[in-house]
Amino acid sequence: MQIDQINNLSFWSKLKKPFIGLSPMDGVTDHPYRYIQKKYGQPDVVYTEFATVEGFCRGVTTPLKDFIFDESQRPIIAQIYGRTSQFFRETAIVICQLGFDGVDLNMGCPAKSVANGGSGAALINTPKLAQKIIKATQAGVQDWINGKTVNDCENITSKIAQEVKKRHLKLSQTYQQHRSIPVSVKTRVGFDSKIIEQWLPTLLETNPVAIAIHGRTLRQGYGGKADWETIGKAVEIAKNTSTLIIGNGDIASKTQALEKVAQYGIDGVLIGRASFGNPWVFNDNFSQEKITIQQKAQVALEHAWLHEKTFGKNEKYSFLPMRKHLGWYIRGFDQAKEVRQKLVMTNNSQEVKEILTQYKLL
Ligand SMILES: Cc1cc2nc3c(=O)[nH]c(=O)nc-3n(C[C@H](O)[C@H](O)[C@H](O)COP(=O)(O)O)c2cc1C
């Protein structure tokens, strides 16, 4: 199947423009987070946390946790990172078999643990490898369309393969088919300096369905401001291609996202940090003031409960990753600090409920 055909058939071509999605965030956008964001904010598209193909193809099972989702989250994209093209190819087959709607390649992570090994944003400095990785992922999708499965992936352990097959059987008929899914990229405007004029054409040559661009360089990390002028330049560069350009960086509301769309002609926007404790950021009539603290407390409790339900049976289960979310929900009223101090000591949803009840937030 031609890449163009895959892209045209994909959910991206059916999304109403401009679309606003939930940006992938490691340690944040897990299954409970995405579920809550979809339920209360309805972002048009969501991504998983990034998952390592190097680890996955060496038997590390963490990506299986990252890849948990339910039907309410569609369209959902699995994001992966790494530097070994064969691993991308095999992981793409697995992602297809798990029923995802798309696969996204992280070429933007600045973390030393990722970029120092040549993955994430470091790929901006190795454009030939970046292209090889995109093509290998597209080939993995093609393998799936042609009938290959996790059983044909020589680097995937039998333990992982067994779990993939189990999840696959729980999908509806539609998602069990060997259907095509599109490959997209999420990146930054450069490594040390902004080099979108060289970097973007390199990516475009491989025909990804969409490129999400965070308007910072790797060197900037999360400092300074996202440069939307450069994102605007990217729109110009991609003008005569079918690749969608998605802007990202420092967007705090839907209104702001739509302003950027009007100003720079992007097809969509991804919102990351502004969604912390605030799924309503995606809503049409977003107004932080309209959401009462009681509503937020209710959602915080639901989130805590879902965290327990999703991960509670895991061998290395911990409530710790949930605590930061509780702090993000409980803000903006007189006793907020006091309540937060108690919530960050909790170990289960029952304790959360007791504290929220004690402060008459439930
Ligand atoms: C805690 C955290 C984790 C992140 N993890 C990822 C990730 O796994 N994959 C990715 O492509 N970007 C990741 N990012 C970057 C965000 O997706 C986004 O590009 C960035 O935060 C800028 O958008 P924002 O200003 O709307 O937050 C992460 C950002 C944060 C704050």
Could you tell me if 151 and 241 lie in one domain?
A: yes
Domain assignment present for residue 322? The answer is: yes
Region 58-69: what's the mean pLDDT?
97
Confidence of residue 290 (pLDDT cuts 50, 70, 90): confident
> What local confidence, expressed as pLDDT, does residue 244 receive?
98
Confidence of residue 139 (pLDDT cuts 50, 70, 90): very high
> What local confidence, expressed as pLDDT, does residue 287 receive?
61
Region 320-336: what's the mean pLDDT?
96
> What local confidence, expressed as pLDDT, does residue 285 receive?
63
User: What's the 81 CA to ligand 1 centre distance in angstroms?
Assistant: 13
Provide the residue range defining the domain that includes 173. Answer: 3-282
Domain final position from 224, 250, 282: 282
Domain assignment present for residue 37? The answer is: yes
Domain assignment present for residue 315? The answer is: yes
Could you tell me if 274 and 296 lie in one domain?
A: no
Could you tell me if 221 and 317 lie in one domain?
A: no
Could you tell me if 43 and 89 lie in one domain?
A: yes
pLDDT in tens, 25-46: 999 999 999 999 999 999 999 9
Domain final position from 250, 282, 314: 282
Could you tell me if 88 and 44 lie in one domain?
A: yes
Region 148-152: what's the mean pLDDT?
98
Q: Return the residue whose CA atom lies nearest to atom 22 of ligand 1.
A: 249
Q: How far apart are CA 25 and CA 41, in angstroms?
A: 17
Region 138-153: what's the mean pLDDT?
98
Q: How far apart are CA 79 and CA 117, in angstroms?
A: 18
Position 260 pLDDT exceeds 80: yes
On whether the CB atoms of residues 107 and 187 are closer than 8 A, the answer is yes
Position 159 pLDDT exceeds 70: yes
Q: Ligand 1 in contact with 273 (CB < 6 A)?
A: yes
Could you tell me if 202 and 122 lie in one domain?
A: yes
pLDDT in tens, 165-207: 999 999 999 999 999 999 999 999 999 999 999 999 999 999 9
As for how many domains the chain has, the answer is 2
Domain final position from 216, 248, 282: 282
Region 323-347: what's the mean pLDDT?
96
Domain assignment present for residue 232? The answer is: yes
Give pTM, 2 decimals: 0.98
For residue 52, report the phi and psi dihedrals to the nearest 5 degrees: -80, 125
Q: Which residue has the higher pLDDT, 41 or 289?
A: 41
Could you tell me if 174 and 225 lie in one domain?
A: yes
Could you tell me if 244 and 321 lie in one domain?
A: no
Could you tell me if 36 and 139 lie in one domain?
A: yes
> What local confidence, expressed as pLDDT, does residue 283 receive?
87
Q: Mutation test of ligand 1: which of 20, 23, 269 has the most ligand atoms closer than 8 Å to its C-beta?
A: 23
Scored b (16 or more CB within 10 A) or e, 170-190 reads eeeeebeeebbbbbbbbbbbb
Provide the mean pLDDT of the chain: 97
Q: Ligand 1 in contact with 260 (CB < 6 A)?
A: no
Position 286 pLDDT exceeds 70: no
Q: How far apart are CA 139 and CA 85, in angstroms?
A: 10
254-263: long-range pairs with CB below 8 Å, 24+: 254/20, 254/281, 254/282, 254/283, 254/284, 254/286, 255/286, 257/18, 257/20, 258/18, 260/228, 260/231, 261/18, 263/228, 263/232
Position 4 pLDDT exceeds 70: yes
Could you tell me if 47 and 102 lie in one domain?
A: yes
Domain assignment present for residue 260? The answer is: yes
Q: Mutation test of ligand 1: which of 20, 22, 25, 250 has the most ligand atoms closer than 8 Å to its C-beta?
A: 25
Q: Return the residue whose CA atom lies nearest to atom 28 of ligand 1.
A: 25
Residues ≥6 apart with Cβ < 8 Å to 200: 211, 234, 237, 238
Position 276 pLDDT exceeds 70: yes
Q: Ligand 1 in contact with 211 (CB < 6 A)?
A: no
Q: Return the residue whose CA atom lies nearest to atom 13 of ligand 1.
A: 25
Could you tell me if 173 and 252 lie in one domain?
A: yes
